[in-house]
Structure 1
Amino acid sequence: MNVTGSTKSMILNYMNDLTQNFDFTQVSHFTASSIAKEMHISRSLASQYLNELVKEKLVMKINSRPVYFLHRQKMEELFHLVFQNDDFYDLEEVKQYINEHSVGDGDYSQIIGYDKSLAEPIKQLREAFEYPPSGLPIILYGAKGTGKRTLSQVIYENAARRGKINENAKVFKIEFTPTNSEQVSLKIFGDGHKSGLIDQYDYIVFILAGAQYMSESFQEKLCHLIEIGKSANTKKMKYLHKTIRYILLSDIHPHHFMVDCLLKNIPVLISLPLLKEKSKEEIEELIIHFMINEGKKMNKIIKVSSSVLRALVNGDYSQNLIGLQSAIQIMCASALKENTGNKEVIIHTYHLPEYLLRTLPIVTDEDIVYIDTTAYKKSDQIDYILDYFSMIVKSFFKDQDFQESLKDAQHHFDLLSDFLSYKQRVAPERIKGIEISLSNIFDTILKKRYMNLPSGFSYTFAKLMYMNELYHSSINKWQQKNRFDIDNILTQLKEHCINETLIVEEMIRLVNSNLETDIDSFFKLIMIVNLNHYNTVRKTQKIFGIIICHGYSTATSIAEAVNSLLENYIFDAVDMPLDVTIDEIKEILVERINRMHSNADVIVMVDMGSLELLGKSLSTAINCNVGVINNVSTRLALNVGNAILNENNMKMILEKVSAHSMAKYTIVKRQKKDAIIFTSESGIQTAQRMRELFENSLSTKSIPVDFVVCDYNQLISSGQDHEIFNNNNVLFITGTANPHVNGQKFVALEDIISGHHIDIIMKRLSPYLNVEELDHMISDLRKNFTLLNVVGYLTILNPQVLLDNVSVAMDVLQDCLQEKFDGKTLIGLYIHVCCLIERLVTKTAITEFDDLENFEKTHMHFIKCVHEAFHIISKRYNIVIPTSEIAYLYEFIDADHNAK
């Protein structure tokens, strides 16, 4: 029935809005009388329409006295369940149904940080507040502006909504000041002439803010009231039948103001973190949230420059969230004056308050971009970093010996280092101090053990420590999820690399005592792997290389490039200031050379001819042969490094290299590493799952091909110019949607399942696998890439139930469109729709589509058919399919038709 624009439709819309804030303590608005009054119609007409909506399964009915009506879909969304019944006997039956079927502990997603810094406080608060029969008294304390009032309000609302509080309960939010304790005492306890709140109501929730201002006399009365609630003695005990819950909010620790008797009767003390103690990613979310709110007030879209966002994230605020919000309001007000007639308000650095402008971190290599706060998306850079972390961990769980696992893990760490260097840029001044400190700490320990790490490792590790601070919540969550595997690997490392493990533990102790920073288990794992890698070959090496250059990181860059290309630690590096003396260089060189193998020769490569004098001055200080080559370059160092790997005679190396060191004109094509790209419009997590499934099909043999996860939107926008194609020879791209990159082969996921284009995979991998191995791989692909298995890998939902529902939906969609999809198209649609449903369930739907308004006008029939086909799925998973997702579904079907 089409009720659009009718009174019945208006009632349904009103109930949708009303149910949005439903809780069991506020049900009087859900009666036919109340709804009739609000809609200005008769009670009998309201009752008629409401009962019709119940029959249409749009509204639920509670047959109590009075009768209540609730918007069905909104209730299902609120409580994360599906209501099988339309009629309930009373509210208690509804509560019982919710308690038995609801998934989760309530909705706290409106609180930024609910899954990060506030996860533990919320858990403690919820458990204490809902503890039967009347909760446990709670003190929630933290500095002004840490969010105590907001958090206590949301805890109460969730408990009330889920029926954990009696429907007759009254909540009282009372604010203490330095002078009003007596007035509050009178209001709560009354006196001989006037009754207090505890006399008037049987079910009460007290949220007492400013608790640090409670007088001693009030605290003693409150202590007595709490003790009565705990007492088992029912004789002549006034208030014993009362059910009272308490949340006390304080700006300071309760030990500083609370009397002993009260403190002993409040078992739960919960502290909230300061703003500066939150992770950078959480602070960034808060900033965007406040700006969006200001934009709504002004009816404007707010855009903010990346430098302003950086300044706000790194700022210090006197009253935490209050101070941050105040700074944003001042900036928005200032920017609004300049953009009065525009739809957008742009916030520049000159809008920053002076105290933030003074502390603005200066960056030299960042392009200023303007971020639309309404379309803001959290950075996915951390997802890529965590993906490299996962690949390092997985290296130790392949069917290979431990040395191969170490080599594999080092390879993925090198890829991570490249990512941090070229994609995740960090201003040098942000990590310079910690880099120098780490370098000194590592050097102090390693020179005693005659071991080495490349100087670039300190730089990479400093970046990782910075990233750990920036994305602490996400990294910590990843480590907790992978705790068992990481501990397992560390146990293996301790057994196979005992010397390296002991050295790393000593390094960690020094880092902790000097930098006051804890090194987590995963970072310890990385340190051990690198220490092992860079010292295994050196134990038998007969010739070593050292590069010395003037300037910051010049020698380090050449040494790292050559070591990486040769996949061996050939060269150590010494970066020298321009005004350094020969004697100072000699002192450093002597120390480095003495840490190498005692019988080895050393080739020293320098950038200026004057340093050739080093050779003679070194001969009296060391017990080895030293050769010196001047005018070092990356190419020359590469030639020397390659010769060191293949020759045991230093004189022959120097003669050979010198003979070929004349400058020549030539074009050298860099050898690119082969790679397979995995991508998905559903995001990096889905692409990662695809890669894992593909890797499992190659478990019989490790091949030198990188399996790279790439962002789908970046591939679309950059195309062939994406850096992945500059740095790699891409064999083919595979995924759930084609990014249409010119010159690149795309193998759709449904092609692998249906067996189409398997010849492309076989041809591209034939250099690495013989005929028998290729046949084995294809067999494993067919076994692993069944539709059920793929859906099980790509989604968190039950794959069998999901596929059953999607199959029904596809049948309805084909009937409605009056066309039949072929087998390959259907497989592709199954995968696409399953990923779509997961996006909606996890609230990561695609919300943008070019010219969406035109799509809605020209494809109304298709939109209607999709809604009809997905009606059952929408109810089962409590989702609403947005038009933007329907547009992408249309594009998928249309592209498949055009491909035939």
Structure 2
Amino acid sequence: MTSKDKVYEKLTELSLMLKGGKDYGVTAMEIAEELGLQRNTVSHLLNRLNEEGLAIKINTRPVYFISQEVYENGKDEFKLIAQYLSVTNDEEKLQEGNNVFEELVGYEGSLNSVVEQCKSAVSYPPNGLPFLLVGSSGVGKSFIAQLVYEYAKSSKVINENAPFVILNCAEYANNPELLSATLFGSSKGAYTGADKDKTGLIEEADGGYLFLDEIHRLSPEGQEKLFLFLDKGIFRRLGESGKRRKADVRLIFATTENPENSFLQTFLRRIPLIVKIPTFQERPLKEKLELIYRSYKKEAINVKKDILVRNQVIEILLKNKLSGNIGKLTNTIKLSCANAFNNQRNNKDKILNIKMKNLPSEVVDNYEGIITDNINYSDMLLSSSEESDFDCYSKDFNKIITLEGKIVNRVRDLKNNNIKLEEFFNYSLVLLNDLIDDVVFHESGTKSDTIIFNSIKKLVENTLIYIETNYGIKHYGNSVEIFSHLLAFFIEYSHDSDIEDLDELINFLSKVYSKEHKVASRIIETIENNLDLSLNKVSIIYILIYIRSLNRDSDINQINAVIIAHGYSTASSIASVANRMLGRYVYEAFDMPLELSSLEISNRLNSYIKTIDTSKGLIILVDMGSLQNIYKGIYEDFYGDIALVNNISTQMALDIGNRIMNLQPLEQIVHEAVERNISRYNYIPSKKRKKDAIITTCITGIGTAQKIKDLLDKSLLNDEIQVIAYDYDRLRGNGKEDYIFKQYDIKLIIGTSNPKIDDIPYISLESLIMRKGDELLTRTLSNLVEGETIDKINREVVKLFTLENVLNYLTILNPDKIIDQVEEAIYTLELGLGFRFQNDLRISLYIHISCMIERLVIKDPIMTYNKFQEFEQCHGHFIELVKKAFSVIEHFYKVEIPISEIGFIYDSINNKIEDFNY
């Protein structure tokens, strides 16, 4: 049973329970709660049922629905509904017509003005206005013309059976006589071969619409022949004299050319409305993504396969500058699906994988960017079902408005000195956590598997990395996931705050938390610019508090510091290195290209000073003597001490930064730092050798390997040994021929499965946890570090590499709870297999399965598995055993373990047990 069938069945059931004198009908939310579906999904399906005549829609607030069948069988009972339905006015007609334009991507966005102009042209009495659609080839002019015709019918300005006639004027560009005959008709004998009277398109379109496409291809004579009809609605057939005919026809024109250069001015004056349609590249990102989504969705339904579109493909389609716009995009997508379908080895595969190689070569060759892994868009997975899964949001605005009022009141209290700063932050953090709970874990949040959400998540991930690199503010654990949900919510949360002093309060808070405000502003700017969307104003307060929670070790009273240096990125480079190494946001950078004057830099410095609390003082670090007097431009208006240090270096920045963080007095900082940082040199003879490294790897992907690396970095505490997270499949497939062994001297491999590289020792993660790897780790490190350091490392490993700590680090789940759940599942699996697992295998499964559950919870399962079909055919019994053993976990977390993940569980056991065959 489809979701639409379920919605119809539930609508019928609830309609039978209505009290006709008190109830209008059933809301989408009521059905959504009953079925456990998203409210807007139910709303979409109810509108479909209404269009199909299976449901009646009551356009109140909220909108109500009732089963058409239930209503027809008991009209006398539904007096309230009957009374409402009997009221029909122009506003209701227009509302009905509005739904027609919902098919147009961007009808409430970039095409909103286009839609409104078209509606005006339709509704203007007595017979509407002729109008001209202007836009590049493929922007959708013909589609919009068709929607205008449908809107006119829905609005009752033309009859339901009114005609819609189309003429492409390019076909008659060089034959004005034939154009006249086609448009106006011809009489018998009008030209050679005219042996009877012929009706023209104008007569055929009587009472409806005539759409003249590529109108610029008409000659001036052709345009002139339309004058009389445009002016008075009368015409003559070709060859007729004296007799005038009349027709009631609404005209739509379309062109790809500039109207001023392509038409007679006398013709243009007869077209009161010119509607410009933006190109694909001029559309906001959300609309471009939706256009791509809709095209691939259509193909998924056509080929009856789910489609997975790789993010590189999305990047190319979004940024390609080939002509053709949406029309070209649609054909490109159709061809990419055809190529992927043709290359698919097994047509029984349920998923059609669209990769960059499936795109037409002209599209790939025309892409001017560089394809890397650092793309702001996630893969796009489209279901072959007819239900839309592009974007789903549902929220409780009343609660959010209440929280908004509370946090703004606390800012007001802080501004009026009614509470202390620490009290303000702690209270705000409680409100923020309350919002996070509601947005991330309850139905007020966004679906985490939508296209827009995944794009936001990718942007957030890249932005947080940028912030850590440049400002030294680190993010931990599930910060990306939480931040993405918050931003997605703020983007969709369209409530305009009516707080009169909001701008003033935000400005005050930006002085109190100046550094956090700059970072929050940077994040908002990145999101808004990349997604062509805007955030609610109050969101900056929440985001600022969140950034402060990440940067709470930074003392709010520390001295302000800036670095000014000549060059396009000299100051930025020194500041970003210093901030990152200090682990704090200490320095602001001002780059000074050589063509920039000292006055311009002074003005930028003045603008910065207006955003900070100047009473804390300011240290200015410059690179050359020409900047030593930069302080004079700010001295008179600066209420605090200023110190200026010349000949800035990274070492100097680190020394001063450390002193700032230790809250030393400003004069002491600069005096001692300048004394210590005297230039010296050291000569090092060449002794080139590969750097020592340890590889971390995981059979299920680089993500877990990266987390093992992060945990290991905390244990090693040694810059001489580099820890590298690396792909298991590459190691296993390439062996020692892989480039990583040419670039580094690999001393050890640590992971969840042995890639079996000759002469390279391997320690499993479970061995570290069980203290079986200490001897090998000591032996590996003995030639690299001193004995005391090895003892310290071993102590750190013992402390960090416990099962609970590893699970806590690798997953977002509660390690205590998940260990019990996984233990029960493993025990059930052992019973099914008929033997007990050794402790090392058991621990390996704890780790692997916990990470798997996390992937399923955040809807990021591994869907690819080598020899998938062979595994499914040969190991059915094992698959059944795993499904049975993990049924409780599936129910508890509301997830389903895919066969690909079961394959990796099989490999984990098979790698530990010889002759394992189930």
| Bin of the TM-score, shorter chain as denominator length | 0.3 to 0.5
Query: What is the TM-score when the length of structure 2 is the normalising length?
Result: 0.43
Query: What is the TM-score when the length of structure 1 is the normalising length?
Result: 0.44
